[in-house]
């Protein structure tokens, strides 16, 4: 069958849509470099198609790639690279975090158990995002290699002109960092995948997809495959935020009602180009709801054939579910695990649980889902009168002052005078605090064990399974994740039989408190 014919068939098949939940109106999202918002608002209800069309058309596509697919195995032993043994030394950093030279016991005294064959840690895929921007705070040599299966490098923006080379366009520092990372990772039997896109790097995905026929995408497919051999990568993560986006990606991103269908075609072409023994890992970073259908804002009803067949896994970004930019000015959990809480009835129904349910219902196998977990929290300006309730306890979901824009941690800086994002809008501070800085900063909220300091008010919300903390002197409330919530998320990963988890981002942890906690949760869950 001709490829352009396949293209239109798949586009057709992707018309399958879901009826959104009536209460799924979602906040606008805070933007941050590369990180992303997740939720997809749904204002339209339309369900006049069903998934039988998808099955018919996509199965013919799948049969063509079945043999290729069976050779793709994220858990297989790294090849060609295992001989690289020279440990890479890191560039000097003023005061690096505690030494990670060897096997660090988890905080409960149990060493994470990594399977040398599969690379799984405590039985799951343990992925850490490693961004060039924060690399100076976590030198390559200090990455906890024994606790990760995969390091995800990037995201690197998808440039308009792929001919420039994604990595080359980033300059020699990033290029050298990637080389150093791959070398050290492979010496430690850890895989490296290149993340492409990100919140600030998804502008051109739409037109780079095979919307005008197979050939227009083949250049991109080839260019990315070339990167694999050039940098000795193990695979790629496509972080397109978001195909067919409505309100959740940046406003200047290209978009098209056929984005999701075209993305599926692209993934198929990408897989088909892989040589049978190359075993390139292919994954995607996704929102809380399945990819948009042709109907903007309406998620696909079935992703099993158009996506699950082509992807080793998806990472659900269960963060920024509630931010200071949210429509309702209440402090809410950044990364709720559960729904059905008082909070949810008021403002949101989204959480790790609803997201996993939405994706599995749409046909993504649980084993191919990784739970994205954040090492940062959002801060809010909250008056003491609102922060502390009548019983003298920290209040649940208090109102915050939307006019105040609290400064976050030391990494929360505007890159330069008149700095703008890729859309040309002025860059603002985010108010975000990474866990590491919550511990390390003199005005951080946490002690070296990751627990609230003496003069900090703390509450763990048992319903959403997220902590809040409050500094009454500064009037700053923080919604974040801690050891307890990460352990809960680890148990959830295990209970739901997910493929694993992905930490955004590795540098944000402190002394592996969070990483150890989620691995503990996975082990005991
Ligand atoms: C679903 O597909 C079947 C078979 O193609 C068709 O008979 C049926 O009418 C479709 N349902 C809807 C709601 O479109
Ligand atoms: C993946 O690779 C591992 C280790 O080589 C192997 O045990 C497993 O069967 C493979 N899985 C698939 C689905 O090929
Ligand atoms: C802690 O903060 C100091 C300065 O405030 C910095 O030099 C050091 O690198 C930080 N340490 C960590 C582990 O982030
Ligand atoms: C890690 O470094 C410390 C201090 O330099 C040393 O005492 C320890 O033996 C090292 N551990 C491993 C596993 O190399
Ligand atoms: C590692 O995984 C492989 C493949 O699943 C399995 O056969 C082996 O028993 C595992 N090794 C350990 C030590 O668990
Ligand atoms: C979507 O892409 C198709 C094919 O390139 C094009 O004809 C159409 O105008 C695009 N739609 C939008 C809204 O840009
Ligand atoms: C799609 O159709 C198949 C076969 O009719 C059905 O088993 C499956 O549940 C449907 N998927 C969804 C998401 O409705
Ligand atoms: C920033 O913008 C202001 C006002 O447009 C301008 O006067 C100033 O020169 C700009 N600064 C830089 C560093 O570009
Ligand atoms: C940013 O810029 C785009 C145009 O590039 C505009 O549509 C949008 O409204 C601006 N504002 C924000 C907050 O994104
Ligand atoms: C609380 O806020 C005050 C005022 O900004 C600051 O001086 C103090 O260090 C903060 N306390 C903690 C534990 O972060
Ligand atoms: C951290 O926990 C350990 C063990 O419970 C305790 O001995 C130590 O005092 C704690 N450190 C801080 C800064 O609270
Ligand atoms: C780890 O230890 C803490 C207490 O220090 C306990 O509450 C928690 O349940 C333990 N986690 C596991 C997985 O054993």
Using the atom order of ligand 11, give the atom closest to the CA of residue 448: 13
β pairing state of 457-461 and 466-471: antiparallel
Residues 6+ apart with CB under 8 A from 7: 210, 213, 214, 261, 262, 265
Using the atom order of ligand 1, give the atom closest to the CA of residue 49: 14
Q: What is the pLDDT of residues 267-288, one digit of tens each?
A: 999 999 887 777 899 999 999 9
Ligand at minimal distance from the CA of 55 is 7
Give the pLDDT score at 296.
72
Contact of 65 with 268, CB cutoff 8 Å: yes
CA of 195 to the centre of ligand 9 (A): 25
Share of the chain above pLDDT 90, in %: 63
Q: What is the pLDDT of residues 200-238, one digit of tens each?
A: 999 999 988 886 555 556 788 888 999 999 999 999 999
Query: Can you read off the two tokens belonging to residue 251?
Result: 């406003």
Residues 6+ apart with CB under 8 A from 249: 199, 202, 241, 242, 255
Measured from CB, residues less than 6 Å from any atom of ligand 12 are 108, 487, 520, 524
- Mean pLDDT over residues 53-81, rounded? 29
Q: What is the pLDDT of residues 122-142, one digit of tens each?
A: 999 999 999 999 999 999 999
* Residue 374 host element (H or E): strand 369-374
**pLDDT band for position 26 (cuts 50, 70, 90):** very low
**Upstream peptide bond of 505 is cis (omega within 30 degrees of 0):** yes
Q: Which residue has the higher pLDDT, 193 or 276?
A: 193
Q: Atom 9 (ligand 4): residue with closest C-alpha?
A: 102
Q: Using CA atoms, how far apart are residues 463 and 345, in angstroms rounded to an integer?
A: 12
* Residue 484 host element (H or E): helix 483-495
Beginning with the edge strand found earlier in the chain, give each strand of the sheet holding 476-479 in spatial order.
Answer: 432-434, 376-381, 476-479, 466-471, 457-461
Q: Is 330 helix (H, G, I), strand (E, B) or coil?
A: strand
Q: Atom 6 (ligand 8): residue with closest C-alpha?
A: 418
Look-up: residue for tokens 């043994």?
Answer: 85
Q: Atom 3 (ligand 11): residue with closest C-alpha?
A: 449
Q: Atom 12 (ligand 2): residue with closest C-alpha?
A: 73
Q: Using CA atoms, how far apart are residues 466 and 485, in angstroms rounded to an integer?
A: 6
CA of 449 to the centre of ligand 11 (A): 6
**pLDDT band for position 480 (cuts 50, 70, 90):** very high
Contact of 206 with 253, CB cutoff 8 Å: yes
Query: Can you read off the two tokens belonging to residue 501?
Result: 């988890």
Q: Atom 6 (ligand 9): residue with closest C-alpha?
A: 251
Look-up: residue for tokens 């609102």?
Answer: 386
Backbone angles phi, psi at 83, to 5 degrees: -80, -15
CA of 108 to the centre of ligand 11 (A): 13
Burial-class residue 197 by CB neighbours within 10 Å (0-12, 13-18, 19+). Answer: buried
CA of 419 to the centre of ligand 11 (A): 42
Residues 6+ apart with CB under 8 A from 39: 24, 26, 27, 29, 248, 287, 288, 289, 321, 350
Q: Atom 13 (ligand 9): residue with closest C-alpha?
A: 425
Look-up: residue for tokens 């990963």?
Answer: 493
Number of Cβ atoms within 10 Å of the Cβ of 9: 20
Number of Cβ atoms within 10 Å of the Cβ of 92: 8
Q: Atom 10 (ligand 1): residue with closest C-alpha?
A: 50
Give the pLDDT score at 48.
26
Cβ of 445 less than 6 Å from ligand 10: yes
Q: Using CA atoms, how far apart are residues 20 and 512, in angstroms rounded to an integer?
A: 38
Backbone angles phi, psi at 428, to 5 degrees: -115, 155
According to the 3-state scheme, what is the secondary structure of 228-251? HHHHCCCEEEEECCCCCCCCCCCC
Ligand at minimal distance from the CA of 512 is 3
**Distance from first CA to last CA of the chain, Å, rounded?**
47
Query: Can you read off the two tokens belonging to residue 37?
Result: 């918002």
Burial-class residue 218 by CB neighbours within 10 Å (0-12, 13-18, 19+). Answer: middle
The DSSP-derived string for 109-131 is S-PPPB-TTT--BTTBEEEEEE-
CA of 115 to the centre of ligand 5 (A): 6
Give the pTM. Answer: 0.79
Distances (CA, A) of 228 to 112, 160, 358, 433: 30, 20, 32, 34
CA of 425 to the centre of ligand 9 (A): 6
Query: Is residue 51's pLDDT more than 90?
Result: no
CA of 77 to the centre of ligand 2 (A): 9
Ligand at minimal distance from the CA of 477 is 10
- Mean pLDDT over residues 442-446, rounded? 96
According to the 3-state scheme, what is the secondary structure of 429-454? CCCEEEHHHHHHCCCCCECCCCCECC
CA of 257 to the centre of ligand 6 (A): 7
Ligand at minimal distance from the CA of 451 is 11
Q: Atom 2 (ligand 4): residue with closest C-alpha?
A: 101
**Would you put residue 97 in left (φ > 0), alpha (ψ -120 to 50) or beta?**
beta
Q: Atom 11 (ligand 2): residue with closest C-alpha?
A: 73
Q: Is 15 helix (H, G, I), strand (E, B) or coil?
A: coil
Cβ of 99 less than 6 Å from ligand 4: yes
Enumerate the β-bridge partners of residue 114. 121
CA of 129 to the centre of ligand 12 (A): 26
CA of 448 to the centre of ligand 11 (A): 7
* Residue 503 host element (H or E): strand 500-504
Query: Is residue 492's pLDDT more than 60?
Result: yes
Cβ of 448 less than 6 Å from ligand 11: yes
Using the atom order of ligand 8, give the atom closest to the CA of residue 416: 13
CA of 333 to the centre of ligand 10 (A): 22
Share of the chain above pLDDT 70, in %: 76
CA of 50 to the centre of ligand 1 (A): 6
Query: Can you read off the two tokens belonging to residue 125?
Result: 């895929």
According to the 3-state scheme, what is the secondary structure of 49-84? CCCHHHHHHHHHHHHHHHHHHHHCCCCCCCCCCCCC
Backbone angles phi, psi at 54, to 5 degrees: -60, -45
Backbone angles phi, psi at 64, to 5 degrees: -65, -25
CA of 444 to the centre of ligand 10 (A): 7
Give the pLDDT score at 333.
92
Backbone angles phi, psi at 157, to 5 degrees: -60, 145
Torsion angle of the four alpha carbons 155, 159, 163, 169, in this order, in degrees rounded to the nearest 10: -60
Mutate to test the pocket of ligand 3, among 90, 92, 94, 441 (most ligand atoms within 8 A of CB): 94
Mutate to test the pocket of ligand 6, among 258, 265, 292 (most ligand atoms within 8 A of CB): 258
Contact of 448 with 416, CB cutoff 8 Å: no
Q: How many residues does the chain have?
A: 525
Mutate to test the pocket of ligand 5, among 73, 115, 125, 499 (most ligand atoms within 8 A of CB): 115
Q: Using CA atoms, how far apart are residues 289 and 292, in angstroms rounded to an integer?
A: 8
Q: Using CA atoms, how far apart are residues 463 and 186, in angstroms rounded to an integer?
A: 41
Cβ of 443 less than 6 Å from ligand 10: yes
Cβ of 113 less than 6 Å from ligand 5: no
Report the chain's mean pLDDT, rounded to a whole number: 80
Q: Domains in the chain, ordered, with CATH? A: 120-374+481-524 (3.20.20.80)
Q: Using CA atoms, how far apart are residues 227 and 237, in angstroms rounded to an integer?
A: 13
Give the pLDDT score at 208.
87
Give the pLDDT score at 163.
62
């Amino acid at each position: 069958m001709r490829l352009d014919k396949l293209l239109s068939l798949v586009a057709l098949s992707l018309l399958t849509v879901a009826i959104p939940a009536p209460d799924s109106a979602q906040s606008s999202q805070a933007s941050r470099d590369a990180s992303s918002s997740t939720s997809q608002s749904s204002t339209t209800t339309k369900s006049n198609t069903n998934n039988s069309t998808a099955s018919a058309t996509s199965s013919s596509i799948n049969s063509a790639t079945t043999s290729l697919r069976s050779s793709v195995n994220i858990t297989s032993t790294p090849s060609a690279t295992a001989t690289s043994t020279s440990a890479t030394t890191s560039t000097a950093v003023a005061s690096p975090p505690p030494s990670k030279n060897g096997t660090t016991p988890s905080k409960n005294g149990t060493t994470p158990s990594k399977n040398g064959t599969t690379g799984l840690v405590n039985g799951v895929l343990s992925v850490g995002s490693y961004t060039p921007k924060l690399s100076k705070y976590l030198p390559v040599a200090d990455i906890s290699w024994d606790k990760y299966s995969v390091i995800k490098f990037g995201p690197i923006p998808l440039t308009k002109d792929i001919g420039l080379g994604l990595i080359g366009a980033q300059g020699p520092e990033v290029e050298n960092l990637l080389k150093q990372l791959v070398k050290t990772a492979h010496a430690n039997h850890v895989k490296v995948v290149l993340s492409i896109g990100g919140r600030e790097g998804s502008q051109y995905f739409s037109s780079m997809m095979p919307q005008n026929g197979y050939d227009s995408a083949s250049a991109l497919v080839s260019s990315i495959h070339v990167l694999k051999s050039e940098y000795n990568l193990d695979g790629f993560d496509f972080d397109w935020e978001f195909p067919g986006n409505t309100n959740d990606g940046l406003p200047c991103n290209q978009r098209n009602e056929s984005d999701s269908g075209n993305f599926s075609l692209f993934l198929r072409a990408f897989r088909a180009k892989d040589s049978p023994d190359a075993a390139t890992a292919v994954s995607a970073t996704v929102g809380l709801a399945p990819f948009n259908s042709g109907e903007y804002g309406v998620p696909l009803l079935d992703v099993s054939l158009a996506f699950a067949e082509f992807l080793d896994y998806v990472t659900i970004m269960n963060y920024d579910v509630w931010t200071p930019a949210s429509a309702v000015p209440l402090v809410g959990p950044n990364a709720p695990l559960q729904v059905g809480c008082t909070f949810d009835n008021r403002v949101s129904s989204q959480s790790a649980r609803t997201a996993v349910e939405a994706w599995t219902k749409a046909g993504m196998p649980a084993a191919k889902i990784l739970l994205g977990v954040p090492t940062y929290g959002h801060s809010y300006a909250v008056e003491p009168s609102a922060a502390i309730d009548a019983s003298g306890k920290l209040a649940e979901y208090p109102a915050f002052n939307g006019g105040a824009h609290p400064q976050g941690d030391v990494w929360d800086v505007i890159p330069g005078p008149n700095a703008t994002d890729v859309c040309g809008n002025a860059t603002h501070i985010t108010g975000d605090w990474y866990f590491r800085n919550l511990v390390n900063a003199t005005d951080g909220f946490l002690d070296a064990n990751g627990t609230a300091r003496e003069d900090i008010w703390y509450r763990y919300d048992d319903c959403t399974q997220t902590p809040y903390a409050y500094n009454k002197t500064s009037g700053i409330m923080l919604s974040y994740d801690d050891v307890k919530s990460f352990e809960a998320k680890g148990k959830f990963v295990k209970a739901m039989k997910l493929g694993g988890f992905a930490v955004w981002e590795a540098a944000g942890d402190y002394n592996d408190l969070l990483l150890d906690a989620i691995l503990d949760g996975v082990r005991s869950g």
